[in-house]
Amino acid sequence: MTDVASWSDVTRLASLTDLDFLGLPVIAAIRPMSQSLSVASGKGATLAEALTSAIMEAYEHAAAENVQPPVRMADAQEAMRNAGFADPTILPADRRTPLRAVDSPIRWVEFEQLISGGPIWVPYDLVHLRLTCEEMSRNDGFLVSTNGLAAGENYQDAVLHGLCEVIERDAIAFAMDDKGALRLDRIAPLDSTECSRVDPSIENLIAKVSSRGCSVLLNDLTHEIGVPVIHCRLCENSDTSAFVRPCDGVGCAPTPIVALRRAIFEAAQARATLISGARDDVLKRNYHITYGRALERTKARSWSDLSQGPRNKAVALEWVLDRLYSSGFPDAAAFRLDQREGAVAVRVVVPGLEGLPMSSGYVRGKRVRSERDTSVTPLSLPRGARMDRRNTSSSKRPVVFFGPTLPQDRARRIIDADFHPPAAIGNLYRAARKNHPLSY
């Protein structure tokens, strides 16, 4: 791990464990020269696990910042005509990037298709993690984030970890409402007492957290893909003298036991991160979010009802890929970012799954919009995203800004549209934000 940490430009490893009374190991890995987050975090049952976790996260970020793969230039129209390209209309878009012409060139990188084994071209924006002003000014319209970044002892472990992460973020996107809170109609509460009995390590973990004044609220977020996704919320029992607001963690794995373990440790990491205040992506508003404490408002789901995948790592990857294929996602792909002794970093992309819902640039994908009965076109689609492969047209009407020289009744005979007075500063932007497909 020392060589990996050095290559990743980690200058310091700091323990955040004793900042929180829970006492669960949390480590911060500091990278002052980072082009994305300068603080990576790790957690685990032991200090050694947390150290490894923090270094591996720093390694993932460094690998994605330094990657310089060969790129191929092709516009959205060419990509949609060529089966060797990922469909740009179902890839995560970035609302911070203006709409661009469908014939504008896009940078593409060759990935490996994990199911067929053949090549597939994926936008460069979904590979790198250079969040510099210079790089982001060249963004092609796709969401640059950490989603799908993963590292492991070998390629298969890293790919499995990356697949579980993109499935987890997809499930979160479906479970979140417009304000970032969990929708009760998309979650199923779990009985923490029953969960603690399924494995001695889980029982000890929940008992330790509970004995130190925190309630462990658990929920099943598993959705259509069928890979277990577990949510954990840690709430201090005292409402009047709470040390930290309720913190959430989510875990995804082929087996619910591993997913549950990951969720609890991630929630503990969220607490320590808020207390330390040292991580780049912790903002002032994060300290004022008021999540509801009680999510157990319906009958708890039994542990035996949860999806159960294989425990054997040798077949777990094939099982996850089979779940994706059976759910209509055949193009899962991976790119090897870096490899060195004892560590491999990859980027995993599954066309059709949601992007990182916690990102400020996140735009809801087609499946989430469809599930919420909206057929609107978001402001920041990838280039060519308005070119549906089925050539379907939007039901939204155009917006027309016009002056007094044209009577409105005459204008309505020309075009069926939403009419507005002459455009003032910001009107075009606001019209686009209301998801109208056309503006004149």
Contacts of 19 (CB under 8 A, 6+ apart): 272, 275, 276
Looking up tokens 């509801």 gives 292
Distance (Å, whole) CA 145 – CA 352: 16
By the 8 A CB rule, do 83 and 91 touch? no
Which range (69-78, 354-363, 371-380) has the least confidence?
371-380
Distances (CA, A) of 149 to 96, 127, 171, 209, 332: 21, 9, 17, 29, 14
Please report the DSSP string for 306-345 in residue order. S----S-HHHHHHHHHHHHHHTT-TT-EEEEEEEETTEEE
Instruction: Please tell me whether the overall predicted TM-score, pTM, comes out greater than 0.75 for this model.
Output: yes
Cβ(264)–Cβ(365) below 8 Å? no
Q: How many CB atoms lie within 10 A of CB 185?
A: 8
- Contact by Cβ (8 Å): 382, 141: yes
Ranges assigned E (strand) in 80-158: 106-113, 119-123, 149-152
| C-alpha to C-alpha distance for 101 and 99, rounded to whole angstroms | 7
Is pLDDT at 298 greater than 90 in this prediction? no
Cβ-contact 132, 116 below 8 angstroms = no
Q: What does the pLDDT read at residue 436?
A: 43
pLDDT at 438 exceeding the cut of 70: no
**CA dihedral for 302, 303, 305, 307, sign (positive or negative):** positive
Predicted confidence band of residue 327 (pLDDT cuts 50, 70, 90)? very high
Residues paired with 249 in a beta bridge: 232
Quick: pLDDT tens for 191-211.
Answer: 888 888 888 999 999 999 999
Largest CA distance in the chain: 78
Closest C-alpha to 197, from 304, 339, 47: 304
Tokens of 418: 């939403």
CB of 84 within 8 A of CB of 120? yes
Q: Which residue has the tokens 């916690």?
A: 358
Q: What is the pLDDT of residue 291?
A: 56
Closest CA to 147 of 323, 320, 346: 346
pLDDT digits (tens, 9 = 90+) for 11-63: 999 999 999 999 999 999 999 999 999 999 999 999 999 999 999 999 999 99
Tokens of 194: 């029953």
Closest CA to 227 of 349, 356, 334, 320: 320
194 contact partners, CB below 8 Å, separation of at least 6: 300, 302, 303
Percent of the chain past pLDDT 90, that is, above it, reads 60
Alpha-carbon distance of 172 to 219, in angstroms, equals: 12
Separation CA 170–CA 164 (nearest Å): 10
Query: Under DSSP, is residue 160 helix (H, G, I), strand (E, B) or coil?
Result: helix
- What is the mean predicted confidence (pLDDT) over 354-370? 90
DSSP state of 240: S
- Helix (H) or strand (E) run with residue 410 in it: helix 408-414
